[in-house]
Amino acid sequence: LETELLSIGPAMPSTTIAELLRMKPGMPVWEIRRRRLMGGQPVILETARIPLQVAPTIDEKWLSEGKSLYGMLATTYGLFDQYEEQTLQVVAPTADERRLLNLSTSAQVVSVRGVSYTEDATPFDCFEQTYAAEQFAFFVSGSQKKHLLPAHHVGDWFATPLG
């Protein structure tokens, strides 16, 4: 897979994202949007929302070169993705998702929303990934630790760009 950086900037998280990341009110996140390409064709959209309080700067050059966001967070800030919790839902794509993934009007997508945690259970990323439903199969593996995302967290999953 190749990675294309679509946008990066500070944003104010929704109430849900701020709660899931255990952030104080009014604290911003980095909103990083990327698109994954396979054979030159867009197949996955990814949006990461990372608190500025845990990652004060993001290396835009690093990301624009297609390098790993999580590799940069681990190297720069010691933030290792020890485990994640995710929800998967099959939905109709938004107009933006349809455009960025070159989807037909009848296409469905799998929307994956999740939170990445460090070994000490500190959340540091609320992410969303969008896949064309007919192009992927998913394998799910369990864990002994559970912090399950409550079902009421499925609607309020956004950040508003600053400025």
Is 90 exceeded by the pLDDT of residue 48? Answer: yes
Q: What's the predicted TM-score (pTM) here?
A: 0.85
pLDDT at 124: 97
Is 70 exceeded by the pLDDT of residue 50? Answer: yes
> How remote is the C-alpha of 77 from its chain's centroid?
18
Is 60 exceeded by the pLDDT of residue 150? Answer: no
Tell me which of 71-80, 105-114, 139-148 is least confident.
Answer: 139-148
Is 60 exceeded by the pLDDT of residue 148? Answer: no
Distance CA 72, CA 59 (A): 8
pLDDT at 12: 97
CB contact at 8 A, 120 and 147? no
pLDDT in tens, 85-135: 889 999 999 999 999 999 999 999 999 999 999 999 999 999 999 999 888
